[in-house]
Chains A and B, each alone.
Chain A
Amino acid sequence: MIHVESLHKEFDSGSLQVLNDVNFSVDDGESMAIIGPSGCGKTTLLYILAGLTGHVTGTVMVDGNSLKGPSRDTAFILQDFGLLPWKTVWQNVCLGMKLRGVSRKDQQITAESLLEGLGLAGHRGYYPTRLSGGEKQRVAIARALALKPKILLMDEPFSSLDTFSREKLQNTLLEIRKLNQLTMIIVTHSIEEAVFLGNKIMVMSQRPAQVKAIVANPKAGHPSYRSEDTFFAMCRKIREMMEET
C-alpha cells in the first residue's frame, strides 16, 4: 500500500513550487490514474514515488516504510520507455535482472516467457531503433515485469502510440495487472486512458499541483468497459472537473 500525506516539492531552492499538499493512498492491487494539465507536476510525483527524486517535505510511505530511494518492489516505466539503444531487446529485458544479480539461467527463463507472452519472441535480437512504438512499449513492460515488482509506475505509457496499438496494449496491461496482482500508478493526460485504466482517478490542478479530487471508478478493469455508457459518463465527469478552475 502506498500512502502519501501533505507532500510538498520545490525546485531551485524554493523558487519553483511543483507539488503543494498532495494527499492520497493506493491499496494493494489497486490501480490509480493521475490526470492533470501538462507541466503540472504529475511526472515529478511519479519520480518521487520511484525514489528518484528526493528532498521532499511530507510523508511517502510504501508498505508501512518511509521511502528512501528506488525500491526492489517498484518498477518504473519512463515516458519514451528508456530502452537502451545499444542493447538488443533481449539484453534490455535482462538488464534489470542483471543489475540485481539474478543468475543467467533464471534471467533466461524469465526473459523467454515474458517475450513469448508479449509477442516479442521473434524480436529478441533487434535493437530498439528497429522496433515500432508499440513494440518498444512491450519491451519496456517486459523489462519492468522481469523484476517481479509489486508496484508498477508508468509515465504517459501510450501517448506516442496510434489508437489501435494503444487500445490493444491497454487491454494487455489489464491482463498483466490481474495476473500479477500489481498495484499500478499511471500518469496520463488522456481522459479516456485514465477512465479505462484507473480504479481511482486523481485529478490534479495547474502547477503547483494540488489534488482537485480523487474519483472512484470501480467499473474499470474490463476491455468491454470502453464501449459502455458508464465509461462515457465518467469521461464527461472527469472532463468537467478538469475544466473547473
Chain B
Amino acid sequence: MNSKRMTFSYILSFALVILVWKVAAMGVSSPVLPPPEEALHAFVASASTMVFWKHFGISAYRVIVSILVAWCLAFPAGIIIGYSRRIDMVLSPMIFMTYPIPKVVLLPVILLLFGLGDFSKIILIGIILFFQILVATRDGVKSIDEKYYDSLLSMGATDWDIIREVVFPAALPHSFTALRITTGTAISVLFFVESFATTSGLGYMIMDSWARAAYTEIFVGIIGMSILGLALYETFRYLERKVCPWRANEVDKQDEESTATSVTHILSRIIIYAHMIKFSHTVFALPFALASLVLVWRIAPLDSNTVFWVIMAMVGSRSAAMGFNRYADAAIDSKNERTAVRELPAGTISRHDVVIFIVLSSLLFVVSAAMLSLLCFWLSFPVLFILFFYSYTKRFTWLSHIILGFGISLVPMAVWVAVAGTLSSRIAVLSLFLMTYIAGFDILYSCQDIDFDRQEKLYSIPAVFGIQNALRASTFLHIVSVLFLASLYWIFALHPVFLVFVVVIAVLFFVEHRLVKPNDLTKINVAFYHINSIISVLLFVAILAGELLRGVL
C-alpha cells in the first residue's frame, strides 16, 4: 500500500472507531463510557500538561528498552539455533515446551528477585518478547532455501560467510515482522506491569483514574497507550522497509494479497467507494455546514451531539447523492473519455454494490436527521428526492447547473431547521450564495464536456448556448454570489473582518475566471479543485471570524 492509501485507511478506520464508539456511548449512556468527543477533548487537555508526558515518557522508555534488549538477545540466538542443527536439536524442544507457558505469571518472582523498579518491568516485557522474536527468527532461518547455501558453498564459503551473507539477511525481516506483530503483546504486558506497585506510566494513569472513578481520564490513558502502540508498529514497519529494501516489493505484494482478508479488504473497498463519491470533496463541502452552525449558534444553543449528527447527515447525504449520480450516469460516463475511468463504468465496483452503498448512505442520512429532530426526519425524504432528481436533469434542461446548486444550497437551511427548528430568510441568503457559486462553477466544469454533451444530446449551458455564453453566465452568477456573500455582513451584523475575507474570495473568483479561456479549458480541473477548496474553507473562516469578533473592537 502506498503512503497516501495508508493515510487514508488510517483516517477511515479512525472515523469508523469514532462512529462505533459514539453509537455505543449513546447506547450505554453511562459515565463509564464517555462519548468520543469528550474523551478526545480530555486527551487534548491532558496532552498539554507535563504530567501526561511524564507518564507517557516512562511507559515509552520501559517498552522500548524491553524491545531493544529482547531483540539484541533473541535475534542472534535465533540465528544460531536455526543454523546449527546440533544446537537446534538440544534447545528447540526446551523452547517449544516452554513457549506456550504464559510468562506473565512470572511477575511475582521477578518482582521479588529484582525489586519494584523499572528493571523488573523491563525484564518481564523483555522475556515475553524474547521468545516471540527467537521463535520467529529460528523459523525464518529454518525456512531458508537450501539452494542459497549450495550456491555459496560451491564458491567455497565458510560457515561465517554463510551466516553473514545468507542467514543474517534472510532472518532479519522475520525478526522485524515478529517485532511488529508483538507490539500489541508488548503494550498489553506494559499495562499489566504498570497496573500495580508503581506510580508512573500510562498503565498507572488508567488504574489510578479507575480508582478515582474519573472515567474520562481512563480514556486519556487508553488513547495514550493506543498512540504508543501505533507509533511503535509504524516504526517497525518503516524500519523493515528501510533495512530490508529487497522486501519492499514483497511487502507491497503481501499487502495486495492480504486485501483478500477481511479488514484490509473492507478498507480497500471503502477507499474505492470514497474515490467514487469523491469523499475528499465532502470534506470540502463540510465548511458550508459548519459555517451555518456558527450562524445558528447565535439563536440556539449547540451541543456536541448536534454537531456530530449534522456532520453525519452531511456525509450521508453527500455520499448518497454522489453515489446515485454515478449510478444513474454510469452508461453516459462510460462513453465519455474524461469519465470512463470512474469506478462504476470502469468495472471496479459492481452496480449491485453501488445500490447497497446508496441505500446505506441514505440510511445514515435519514438516521442522522432523525437523531436531530422529528421534523428533520420527515424533511430528509424530500431532500433525498431533490438530490437524486438532480442526476436526471441534464437529460432535459440546461438548468441542471442551477438544480445542482439548489441541492447543495439546502445545507444552510437544513442546519438551521435542525438546530433552531424553523426556517429563516436570513440564512436563505447564505443558501443563495452557495447556489449561485456552485452553479457558476458547474457551468465552467461542463465546458470540458461540451462536445460530448452535444453528441449525446445532453443539456448543459455550454452545449446549448456555446462556450462564450456559458463563460458569461458563469461570470454573472459568480458576481451575484459575491454580492449575496457580502450582504451577510449586514444581515448578520458580522465583524468587518468578514468583509476582508469576502474580498479575498472575490479575488479567487476573479483568478478562476482568468484561468479559463474559451480556447483553453485545460486549467479547469486541478487549479479549480484547489481554489474551490480554499474558497470553501475561507467561507467558514470568514463567518467564524465575523461571528467571534462581533462586539470586539
Contact = CB atoms under 8 A, between A and B. Distances in A.
Interface of A: 47, 50-52, 70, 72, 74-76, 78-80, 82-87, 95-96, 99-100, 127, 129-130, 147
Contact of A78 (B151, B157, B166, B169): B151
A86 to B, nearest CB: 4
Contacts of B250: 129
Nearest to A50: B154
A99 B161 contact: yes
Contacts of A96: 155
B485 to A, nearest CB: 55
A70 B151 contact: no
A156 B465 CA distance: 72
B156 A129 contact: no
Contact of B155 (A80, A100, A130): A100
Interface in B150-194: 150-157, 161, 165-166, 169-170
A18 B245 CA distance: 41
Contacts of B165: 84, 87, 95, 99
Contacts of A75: 154-155
- Taking residues whose C-beta sits less than 8 angstroms from the other chain, chain B's interface range is 20 to 34
B151 A99 contact: no
24 contacts: A47-B150, A50-B154, A52-B150, A52-B153, A52-B154, A72-B156, A74-B154, A76-B154, A78-B147, A78-B150, A79-B147, A82-B147, A84-B165, A84-B166, A84-B169, A86-B246, A99-B157, A99-B161, A100-B155, A100-B156, A127-B245, A127-B246, A127-B249, A129-B246
A82 B246 contact: no
Contacts of B170: 86
Interface in B216-262: 244-246, 249-250
A147 B150 CA distance: 16
Residue of B151, B161, B165, B249 most packed against chain A (CB within 10 A): B151
Contacts of B246: 85-87, 127, 129
B148 interface: yes
Contact of A82 (B148, B169, B245, B249): B148
A68 B395 CA distance: 86
Nearest to B169: A86
Contacts of A85: 246
Label chain B's interface by main secondary structure.
helix
Give 3 nearest A-B pairs by CB, closest first: A82-B151, A76-B154, A86-B169
Contacts of A82: 147-148, 150-151
Interface of B: 147-148, 150-157, 161, 165-166, 169-170, 244-246, 249-250
B155 A99 contact: yes
Contact of A99 (B150, B156, B169): B156
B525 to A, nearest CB: 34
A99 B165 CA distance: 10
A244 B155 CA distance: 38
Contacts of B152: 95, 99
Given A52-B153, A86-B169, A127-B245, 6 more contacts: A47-B150, A76-B150, A79-B147, A85-B246, A99-B157, A99-B165
A114 to B, nearest CB: 15
B148 A84 contact: yes
Contact of A76 (B151, B166, B169, B249): B151
A86 B156 contact: no
Contacts of A99: 152, 155-157, 161, 165
Contacts of B153: 52, 70
Contacts of B166: 84
B154 A70 contact: yes
Contacts of A86: 169-170, 244, 246
Contacts of A147: 155
A87 B169 CA distance: 9
A68 to B, nearest CB: 12
A51 B151 CA distance: 11
Given A78-B147, A84-B148, A129 B249 contact: yes
Contacts of A76: 150-151, 154
A86 B170 CA distance: 7
A210 B253 CA distance: 45
Contacts of B156: 70, 72, 99-100
A51 B157 contact: no
A79 B151 CA distance: 10
Residue of B153, B156, B244 most packed against chain A (CB within 10 A): B156
Contacts of A84: 148, 165-166, 169
B169 A130 contact: no
Residue of B148, B155, B161 most packed against chain A (CB within 10 A): B155
B296 to A, nearest CB: 58
A70 B169 contact: no
Contacts of A95: 152, 155, 165
A52 to B, nearest CB: 6
A222 to B, nearest CB: 30
Contacts of A52: 150, 153-154
